[in-house]
Structures are given as structure tokens and as C-alpha cells.
């Protein structure tokens, strides 16, 4: 696993891209201020730690896009996506403007801070908006590549930065916006994982094999546009799939996968996701994963319960 956090990579990428492209401007809501200082110093006048007023920061970013800049808005997911949703919808999306939304604190990454600092409906919300790309880069390299590919295009791109990485080192050529990564080949079941849950899928693979399930693992860092071809091809081959995601069961990657595999005959699909209720507990990230069933053991149990043992 990379020693560099995805959040640190965000700051490093801002520095690198901002030095090359004078149209990049970064607005933050009083987080990541320290790690963004190299960018702020290298790109004077294009960094603003605006304050605790996320909807206005979002509208400001849209206004900056209106005059041709490439804005990046960054703060904690619930405040930037849920509180500022109408600003994203109207000021960015309806106006047809481009922009970049970078969050930390999605799902239950702020594991001990309670409901106010959780955000596990963000994919569902943003999927209702036209012209939004949704990414979940769970390694530094993924963020760097996805950002460079997207920041100056015509979309609003959401980068959901996780606190925890999945631990797989991909080659740079594997990563591209809208392209799923086949992590392992398999013939009997497709595990479709996004974010840190790729690790859960990998940890369950051997146990699944002992039950006769040869797992093909697809890693999805871009929820929208989803690599429907890759998903459909794999499920058409295995006819069994489980989606793993740190998002509510409703409206997340699972729903996108279901749409992608329409027309595939006789397939079975299950989900490991956050239940459609509030996460009320405290504890570590792993404690929350355990409570939500996002564990290798529950993955194995789900396969046994829903699909059976093949040998």
C-alpha cells in the first residue's frame, strides 16, 4: 500500500497541475489547508481557503468556471455534496459548466464523528444530475491520473477520496476514466468492487475457491460513466455477481451494475453495501465495515447462502 495518502496526493497533484496550467484554481472549506500550502505558494492568487460556507463556495466555483477557469472545490463530503447539492445542480450542471469536486470523509471514513460527518448517499445524489462524472480513486496514482484526465473537460467530476486504500498497485496504463480494471480472471462469479472494498474481494477470493467459486474481480474507480461493457462481459460469463461498495444499497454502484447487465440471461446479483439506514455507531473504520457486513467472511457467507457451494 502506498505510504502516501490519497489526500496528500490531491495536494501534490494540485501543485503539479497548477504550476503548468494557470487556469486551475482551488477553493477549500477550511480543511487540507496545510498540505495545500506548496500549491498556494507556487500558484499565488489561485488558492482560497474560503471558510465554512460550502454552498457559497460551490456557487463561487461555478462562477469561476463561467469565466473560463478550472475550479477545484474541496472539503468534507456531506457538506459539499449534500448541503450544496442545489448549487451543484443549478450553478454547475444546469449552466453546463465544468468543475471538480474533491471530498474526504465520504461513507463512514470519519468513523467516530457520527451521522453529521458521514456521507453514503453521494453517488445516488450525483447520479441524478446530467453531466457529472463520479470517481472513487482509492490509491494516489488513481487520483493523479483521473484528475489529469478530467479536470479540464466539459463535465463536473466528483473525486471521492477514501481514507483507506485497497492496497493494490496498478500500473499507470491500467487506469483511465470510465475503464474498469480486471484484477483477477475467474470463471464462476464476478466480484465488482469500488474503493477500499477491493481489498475485501481479494481477501475472500481463496475461501471462495475452496467452495468451488473461481472469482473474477473487477475494480471500478469510475462509477459514472460506468464501464458497462466490462461489467456485462464478465457477468455474461460468470452469471453470478456481487457488488461491494461503501455506499447505501440504494443508488450506488449496485444499481448501475444492474442496469449494465440488463439482457444478460439467468444471472444472479447480490450486494454488500451500507444498509439503507443511518449508521449510528462509533468505532474504527473496520468496526463500521464489520457492522455493515463489508468483510471477507460476510462475502463468503453471502455467496454460500445465496449461490450455494459448487463442489
Partner 1 sequence: MANKDLRRQIVDMVVSGRSGHIPSAFSIVDIVTVLYRDILKVDPANPEWNERDFFILSKGHGCLGLYVNLHRHGFVSDDDIANFCKKGGILGEHPDFTKVPGVEASTGSLGHGLSYAVGIALGMRIQRRENRIFVLVGDGESHEGTVWEAAHVARNYQLSKLCVIVDWNESGMQLLPHDDLPAKWQAFGWSTLVVDGHDEVALKMALDSVVFADENVPTVILARTVKGKGVPLLEGHGMWHHRIPNEQEYAQIMEALA
- Does 48 engage in binding with partner 1 (CB under 8 A)? yes
| Residues 87-106 close enough to bind partner 1 by CB under 8 A | 87, 90-91, 94-96
Binds partner 1 (CB under 8 A): choice among 31, 40, 60, 223: 60
- Does 76 engage in binding with partner 1 (CB under 8 A)? no
Q: How many residues bind partner 1 (CB under 8 A)?
A: 29
Q: What are phi and psi of 161, to 5 degrees?
A: -90, 120
Beta strands (DSSP E) in 77-221 are 99-104, 132-135, 156-160, 181-184, 189-193, 215-219
Cα–Cα distance for residue pair 55/115, rounded to 1 Å? 20
User: Is 50 or 211 the residue whose CB approaches partner 1 more closely?
Assistant: 50
- Does 298 engage in binding with partner 1 (CB under 8 A)? no
Strand-pairing partners, residue 240, are: 268
Contact 136, 142 (CB under 8 A): no
- Does 68 engage in binding with partner 1 (CB under 8 A)? yes
**What is the DSSP annotation of 271-296?**
EEEE-SS-----S-HHHHHHHHT-SH
- Does 25 engage in binding with partner 1 (CB under 8 A)? yes
Contact 148, 13 (CB under 8 A): yes
| Residues 213-232 close enough to bind partner 1 by CB under 8 A | none
- Does 86 engage in binding with partner 1 (CB under 8 A)? yes
- Does 129 engage in binding with partner 1 (CB under 8 A)? no
- Does 146 engage in binding with partner 1 (CB under 8 A)? no
Q: What are phi and psi of 294, to 5 degrees?
A: -90, 65
Interface stretch with partner 1, choices 62-70, 105-113, 151-159, 205-213 (CB under 8 A): 62-70
Interface stretch with partner 1, choices 7-15, 49-57, 162-170, 212-220 (CB under 8 A): 49-57
- Does 62 engage in binding with partner 1 (CB under 8 A)? yes
* Per-residue DSSP letter, 107: B
Interface stretch with partner 1, choices 42-50, 106-114, 195-203, 294-302 (CB under 8 A): 42-50
- The β-bridge relationship of strands 222-224 and 132-135 is antiparallel
User: Is 72 or 220 the residue whose CB approaches partner 1 more closely?
Assistant: 72
Cα–Cα distance for residue pair 224/133, rounded to 1 Å? 5
Q: Minimum CB separation from partner 1 for residue 157, in Å?
A: 18
Backbone φ/ψ region at 171: left (φ over 0), alpha (ψ -120 to 50), beta: beta
> Contact positions toward partner 1, by CB under 8 A?
25, 45-46, 48, 50-51, 53, 55-56, 58-69, 71, 86-87, 90-91, 94-96
Amino acid at each position: 500500500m502506498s505510504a502516501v495518502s490519497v489526500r496528500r496526493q490531491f495536494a501534490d497533484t494540485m501543485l503539479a497541475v497548477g504550476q503548468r496550467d494557470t487556469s486551475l484554481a482551488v477553493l477549500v472549506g477550511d480543511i487540507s489547508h496545510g498540505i495545500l500550502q506548496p500549491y498556494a505558494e507556487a500558484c499565488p492568487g489561485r488558492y482560497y481557503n474560503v471558510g465554512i460556507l460550502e454552498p457559497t463556495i460551490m456557487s463561487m466555483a461555478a462562477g469561476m468556471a463561467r469565466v473560463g477557469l478550472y475550479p477545484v472545490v474541496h472539503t468534507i463530503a456531506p457538506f459539499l455534496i449534500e448541503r450544496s447539492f442545489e448549487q451543484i445542480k443549478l450553478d454547475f450542471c444546469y449552466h453546463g459548466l465544468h468543475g471538480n469536486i474533491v471530498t474526504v470523509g465520504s461513507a463512514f471514513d470519519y468513523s467516530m464523528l457520527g451521522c453529521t460527518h458521514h456521507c453514503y448517499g453521494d453517488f445516488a445524489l450525483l447520479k441524478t444530475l446530467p453531466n457529472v462524472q463520479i470517481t472513487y480513486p482509492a490509491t494516489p496514482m488513481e487520483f493523479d491520473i483521473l484528475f489529469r484526465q478530467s479536470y479540464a473537460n466539459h463535465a463536473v467530476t466528483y473525486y471521492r477520496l477514501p481514507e483507506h486504500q485497497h492496497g493494490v498497485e496498478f500500473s499507470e496504463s491500467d487506469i483511465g476514466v470510465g475503464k474498469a480494471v480486471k484484477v483477477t480472471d475467474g470463471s464462476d462469479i464476478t466480484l465488482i468492487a469500488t474503493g477500499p472494498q477491493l481489498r475485501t474481494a481479494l481477501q475472500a477470493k481463496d475461501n471462495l475457491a475452496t467452495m468451488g467459486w473461481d472469482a473474477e474481480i473487477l475494480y471500478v474507480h469510475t462509477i459514472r460513466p460506468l464501464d458497462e461493457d466490462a461489467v456485462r462481459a464478465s457477468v455474461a460469463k460468470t452469471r453470478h455477481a456481487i457488488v461491494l461498495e461503501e455506499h447505501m444499497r440504494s443508488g450506488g454502484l449496485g444499481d448501475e451494475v444492474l442496469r449494465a447487465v440488463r439482457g444478460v440471461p439467468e444471472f444472479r446479483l447480490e450486494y454488500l453495501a451500507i444498509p439503507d439506514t443511518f449508521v449510528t455507531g462509533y468505532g474504527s473504520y473496520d468496526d463500521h465495515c464489520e457492522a455493515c457486513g463489508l468483510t471477507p467472511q460476510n462475502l463468503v457467507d453471502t455467496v454460500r447462502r445465496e449461490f450455494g457451494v459448487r463442489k
